[in-house]
Amino acid sequence: MKIHFPEAIPSAPALVLVTPQDGPTTPAVEAVDRATGGQLGRALRAAEFVGRKGATLELLAPPGLDHDRLLLLGLGPPQEADALVFEELGGRIVEVLGTRAAAVAVDLSGLPTPRLALGAAAAHLALGALLRAWRHDRYRTTLKDEDRPRLAELAVAGAARAAEAFAPLDAVARGVFLTRELVTEPANVIFPESFVERVRAAAEPLGLEITVLDEVEMKALGMGCLLGVAQGSVRPPRLLALEWNGTGDSQATPALFVGKGVTFDTGGISIKPASGMEDMKWDMGGAAAVAGAMVALAARRARARVVGVCGLVENMPDGGAQRPGDVVTSFSGKTVEVINTDAEGRLVLADAMAWAQQRWQPDVMVDLATLTGAIIVSLGHEYAGLFTPHDDLAAQLSAAGDATGERVWRQPLGKPGSPYDKLLESAIADMKNVGPREAGSITAAQFLQRFVADGVQWAHLDIAGTVWKTKPGPTHGKGATGFGVRLIDRFVAQTRETAA
């Protein structure tokens, strides 16, 4: 969708006016009311439209206007209208007009925005529309005409410096769309090798430095945990690393993000129930988020050094698959008794995290993974689980989540040797990969904590409940949300670039 910010309202099939709740009408609304001979005011009174957030009133063929549709959109109380509110309004425009108009003009002239500059408000409204308009119709050949998206152009007028504010948001949307694409594609299309190539095509033109390890190289490095998961699949595993350095200093200490990339998860020998297994194409949502975030950071030329690592495998139950009870040796040298082959993501992350820390020596590491169903039981689909022993890091990630709408909720995490940690004790190896049924998300985080190097601030984000939604949201349709991209981008902006 083409987005631009003209000074004057262009000719378009649809015109949108945003009006605050219970407040004076804006100059834009007053001008349109005069142009329609008072018909707009009559309609507002007849509908008892008071501008509640997201409320709409649509007039067809309004008299005196060169627009086929006029949409009134409620802002809600202006003092509560932050960036996320404007993103929701942009999404609402697409929801209402996306299949009805080829072009939409929005007039924000004189709109009160005490929480942020009007140009920033316009930029976030445009971002919300852009995010909500994303669809994946590649395999849909029988869509009815009335269900096909028509909206191809959005013009937002009446706000100075909106284009300047929108440029970095547009870059971040580019990363979100890559993540949604990777998560949405079926597992016969996206598997470890094709994941790498899809990301490479997006990353190389932006100047990201790319490293790929194949099965032979990982075996030579001793990545027994990751390779054990992959050994039941005909699809060979890959380890993908993306590096961006916008600091100008080759010695700058990087922030590290590591993503779980199980491109399809049957559970292996500990096979999952058949019902709903098709959803396991998105078990690579953590890796997809890391890849999308790296593209976003490079696209907006972030002034930070950041490394993203994706551990990519397919977990299948063939005759060569890993068995419950097998013992594997990790890259770090620690041994793991594999009690349940469906607790595979933590094995992939263990080797990816340990290797990346050794190679890049970060001071901060955050992993993202669709790791446990238990986190969905705990938090549903509104928050990701946040596990970290570092209060400052928890606060920073929580702030980034609140600012972008990709919210996290901190969960308990025990110190080494704590009761939670002891749930992973094995009778024959350094640890086992699962604990008992209770505290499943916590013991998964306890497992990962064992592979964090001394001196590294680390957080684990369990995003199992947030990468895929069965219902549309304000800025996404049904399906892939792109969760994690904007969270990472904001975290980097607030914690790495502000200090640059």
Q: How far apart are CA 500 and CA 302, in angstroms?
A: 10
Mean pLDDT of 17-38: 93
203: left (phi over 0), alpha (psi -120 to 50) or beta: alpha
Mean pLDDT of 308-327: 98
- The second-level CATH assignment, the architecture, of 170-497 is 3-Layer(aba) Sandwich (3.40)
Asked whether the predicted pLDDT for residue 289 surpasses 50, the reply is yes
The pLDDT value given to residue 375 = 98
Asked whether the predicted pLDDT for residue 35 surpasses 80, the reply is yes
Amino acid at 306: V
By percentage, how much of the chain surpasses pLDDT 90? Answer: 97
Q: How far apart are CA 9 and CA 156, in angstroms?
A: 8
Mean pLDDT of 16-35: 93
Based on the residue annotation, tell me whether 469 is a catalytic residue of this protein.
no
Q: How far apart are CA 420 and CA 435, in angstroms?
A: 9
Mean pLDDT of 76-102: 97
Q: Compute the mean pLDDT over every residue in the chain, rounded to the nearest whole number.
A: 97
User: Active site residue: 132, 180, 305, 346, which one?
Assistant: 346
Token readout for 346 is 């933590």
User: Active site residue: 150, 161, 272, 303, which one?
Assistant: 272
Q: How far apart are CA 242 and CA 46, in angstroms?
A: 57
Model-wide pTM > 0.95:
yes
CB 215 within 8 A of CB 351: no
What DSSP element (H or E) covers 421? helix 419-422
CB 173 within 8 A of CB 131: yes
Strands 479-480 vs 468-469: parallel, antiparallel or unpaired: antiparallel
Q: Tell me, what DSSP letter sits at residue 70?
A: E
Across the strands, what pairs with 1?
A: none
Q: How far apart are CA 476 and CA 482, in angstroms?
A: 9
Nearest by Cα to 488 from 244, 249, 313:
244
Instruction: Give the number of other CB atoms < 10 A from CB of residue 48.
Output: 7
Q: Which fold has domain 2-161?
A: Leucine Aminopeptidase, subunit E; domain 1 (3.40.220)
Q: How far apart are CA 316 and CA 270, in angstroms?
A: 10
What DSSP element (H or E) covers 314? strand 305-315
Convert the pLDDT of each residue in 194-227 to its tens digit: 999 999 999 999 999 999 999 999 999 999 999 9
CB 218 within 8 A of CB 313: no
Convert the pLDDT of each residue in 134-175 to its tens digit: 999 999 999 888 889 999 999 999 999 999 999 999 999 999
Mean pLDDT of 371-380: 97
pLDDT interval class at 500 (50, 70, 90): very low
CB 250 within 8 A of CB 273: no
Q: How far apart are CA 361 and CA 395, in angstroms?
A: 23
SS3 22: coil
Beta strand ranges found along 130-254 (DSSP E):
153-157, 209-213, 238-245
- For the sheet with 327-329, list strands across it: 327-329, 335-337, 431-432
The burial of 455, by beta-carbon neighbours within 10 Å (0-12 exposed, 13-18 middle, 19 or more buried), is given as exposed
pLDDT interval class at 498 (50, 70, 90): low
Convert the pLDDT of each residue in 181-202 to its tens digit: 999 999 999 999 999 999 999 9
Across the strands, what pairs with 221?
A: none
pLDDT interval class at 75 (50, 70, 90): very high
Q: How far apart are CA 260 and CA 287, in angstroms?
A: 5
Across the strands, what pairs with 479?
A: 469
CB 149 within 8 A of CB 99: yes
Based on the residue annotation, tell me whether 346 is a catalytic residue of this protein.
yes
Q: How far apart are CA 232 and CA 292, in angstroms?
A: 28
Asked whether the predicted pLDDT for residue 5 surpasses 80, the reply is yes
Q: Where are the domains of the chain?
A: 2-161, 170-497
Q: How far apart are CA 92 and CA 402, in angstroms?
A: 20
Mean pLDDT of 347-358: 98
Q: How far apart are CA 262 and CA 282, in angstroms?
A: 8
Asked whether the predicted pLDDT for residue 25 surpasses 90, the reply is no
Strands 457-462 vs 364-369: parallel, antiparallel or unpaired: parallel
